[in-house]
Amino acid sequence: MDSNSLSESAAFGPSTLSGELPTVTLAPGQVIDRFKLEEKLHLGGMAQIWRVTELGTDGNPLPPPQLPLVMKVPRIKGGEDPATIVGFEVEQMIMPRLSGPHVPRFVAKGDFTRQPYIVMERIDGVSLRPRLDDAPLAIDEVIEVGSRVATALHDLHRQHLVHLDIKPSNIMFRPDGSAVLVDFGLSRHDHLPDLLEEQFTLPMGTGPYMSPEQVQFVRNDPRSDLFALGVMLYHFTTGERPFGQPDNVRGLRRRLWVHPVPPRLIRSDCPPWLQEVILKCLEVKPERRYQSAAQLALDLQNPTQVVLTPRSEFLQKSSAVRTFKRWFFALGAEPGRAEATAHDQLDRSPIIVAAVDVDNASDELLNRLRETARRIVLTEPGARLACVSVMRVARIGMDDLVDHEGRSRHVKQLVGLKHWARPINKALQLGEGRLTFHVLEASDVAETIVDFARRTQTDHIVMGARGISGIRRYLGSVSSQVVANADCTVTVVRVGASGDEAVPPAKS
């Protein structure tokens, strides 16, 4: 690859490799360490993928159930881009650090002195890449894909990783629909040396998806992955790439000053809220994008809560004058070498859920809960406050959806929730999209709150609890169930006979 070019399938970087590395011709039936090669599944420009079986000490396959496995082997013939070799080393360092449903499970690795490889869980199914050929997709599918990928990204960011090569070919889906991110050769981990940054001086990434800060050699910002996801959402919505497919650094830099054509100008049925979300992801400055993938997923899952700005109304291309101004100011706008980490950015942008029983809680408890929520948000300048109320409905049978005066119970509860939060917003002046409201209908209040927190990858739940009677202690209160089952920090606020009692975070 020429040192001034890049493609959608390759990283941008140098093009000559000095020295030779050991190579082994691979064939079905061959055994490498304790893994038997069964079938070549993929041959790419940088690596080949084999289906493998793990063998026991007796040389026979391990008994079932055995995790389905693949072996990734770099293609080394001499003359490769050294970034390919270094990238494989990076992936070997990173994969053992990752866990959870959104990454393949790591099993083993082989050293470059003998035979380099990575053995990992095989994810059944194809990547998201073929869906590009079908773009534009149905709006519902665009939303679903975006929400699942954003959820996966947030999980990786919480594990101190910035992927830096988010694109359809690096995204797969498990049978349950959860997104799995693969190929960490260009990634950066907070707790590992960044070999790519240390050894190369050209931007690393895939041309159409690289963020402006990647073009400017910044590799430690998780919001770069949100820019790449915005590019994907744009392409799946419109059938076009927002910044084309540049093949040199000059072409890459155009995204620093050229606004993408508004999606609604290309596709008339694109809803304004979705254009708002996409263009927010594609902002040049990271601070103007979503500040975490969880916040992006929350908007995709709750379109009615998206705060519309002039972005949603754009229906024409940027004028030549405006483009020139952006170009002029971009000339000297090189970013500083920030020392922040991926985890630092997430810590600045948590999602706080305030679970409010607007219909039944006393005024004293509501006031105490509001003050606690205000203090928590005050200490987190980038926090998003999601105010949640659960409207109880029967498991079986019909519920009255209106009250005795004929008013919608759902709307009434929503109004009550907004009224409860108004003093918080007045005191803190929460900015764009930082305050949202959610009325959930369910029969099990505690289960619904916990499920909402998991889906939105909430960092902190604050909720109220009324006095604990003998029967409530025996049956278990809503707050105690949430404390027991939530995956995040939970703060419970109580009002007792002798005054207010705030229970500190019970789980983190």
Please give the Cα distance from 113 to 430 (Å, whole number).
56
The CATH homologous superfamily of the domain defined by 31-121? Phosphorylase Kinase; domain 1 (3.30.200.20)
- What is the CATH number that goes with domain 129-345? 1.10.510.10
CATH fold for the domain made of 350-503: Rossmann fold (3.40.50)
pLDDT band of residue 18 (cuts 50, 70, 90) is very low
pLDDT band of residue 443 (cuts 50, 70, 90) is confident
pLDDT band of residue 475 (cuts 50, 70, 90) is very low
Burial 300-321 (b: 16+ CB within 10 A, else e): bbbeeebeeeebbebeeebeee
Query: Given CA atoms 261, 262, 263, 269 in this order, what sign does their dihedral have?
Result: negative
**The pair of three-digit structure tokens given for residue 153, joined into one six-digit string:** 């990204």
Residue 382 has pLDDT above 90, yes or no: no
User: Is-cis flag, bond preceding 65, omega within 30?
Assistant: yes
Give 436's contacts (C-beta < 8 A, 6+ positions apart): 298, 302, 305, 384, 385, 386, 387
DSSP 3-state of 72:
strand
**The pair of three-digit structure tokens given for residue 475, joined into one six-digit string:** 């049956």
Burial 219-233 (b: 16+ CB within 10 A, else e): bbbbbbbbbbbbbbb
373 vs 125 pLDDT, higher one: 373
Question: Which of 245, 242, 274, 240 minimizes the C-alpha distance to 132?
Answer: 240
- 34-48, 105-119, 399-413, 479-493: range with lowest mean pLDDT: 399-413
Task: Calculate what percentage of the chain has a pLDDT beyond 90.
Answer: 57
Phi-psi category of 488—alpha, beta or left, where left has phi over 0 and alpha has psi -120 to 50?
beta
In the chain, the amino acid numbered 289 is: R
- Over residues 479-484, the mean pLDDT reads 90
Q: Are 229 and 219 in contact (CB under 8 A)?
A: no
**The pair of three-digit structure tokens given for residue 191, joined into one six-digit string:** 């707790």
- Over residues 258-262, the mean pLDDT reads 92
Each domain of the chain, given as residue ranges in start order, spans 31-121, 129-345, 350-503
DSSP 3-state of 296:
helix
pLDDT tens across 332-362, in order? Answer: 555 555 556 787 888 888 999 999 998 888 9
Residue 105 has pLDDT above 70, yes or no: yes
pLDDT at 368: 93
pLDDT tens across 21-80, in order? Answer: 455 689 999 999 999 999 999 888 788 999 999 999 888 999 888 899 999 999 876 555
286 vs 506 pLDDT, higher one: 286
List the strands of the sheet with 106-110, edge to edge.
31-32, 35-43, 47-54, 69-74, 117-121, 106-110
pLDDT at 408: 79
What kind and span of H or E run contains 36?
strand 35-43
Dump the DSSP string for 436-485: EEEEEEES-HHHHHHHHHHHTT-SEEEEEE----HHHHHH--HHHHHHHH
Taking CB atoms within 8 Å and a gap of at least 24, the contacts of 426-434 are: 427/374, 428/374, 428/377, 428/378, 430/377, 430/385, 432/307, 432/309, 433/295, 433/299, 433/305, 433/306, 433/307, 433/384, 434/383, 434/384, 434/385
List the strands of the sheet with 499-503, edge to edge.
435-442, 384-392, 351-355, 460-465, 489-496, 499-503
DSSP 3-state of 32:
strand
Question: Which of 411, 394, 392, 414 minimizes the C-alpha distance to 402?
Answer: 411
- Over residues 464-469, the mean pLDDT reads 69
- Over residues 123-133, the mean pLDDT reads 91
**The pair of three-digit structure tokens given for residue 161, joined into one six-digit string:** 């990783």
pLDDT band of residue 414 (cuts 50, 70, 90) is confident
Question: What pTM does this model have?
Answer: 0.84
pLDDT band of residue 468 (cuts 50, 70, 90) is low
**The pair of three-digit structure tokens given for residue 402, joined into one six-digit string:** 């209106």
Q: Are 196 and 85 in contact (CB under 8 A)?
A: no
pLDDT band of residue 325 (cuts 50, 70, 90) is low
Residue 282 has pLDDT above 60, yes or no: yes
- Supply the mean pLDDT for the chain: 85
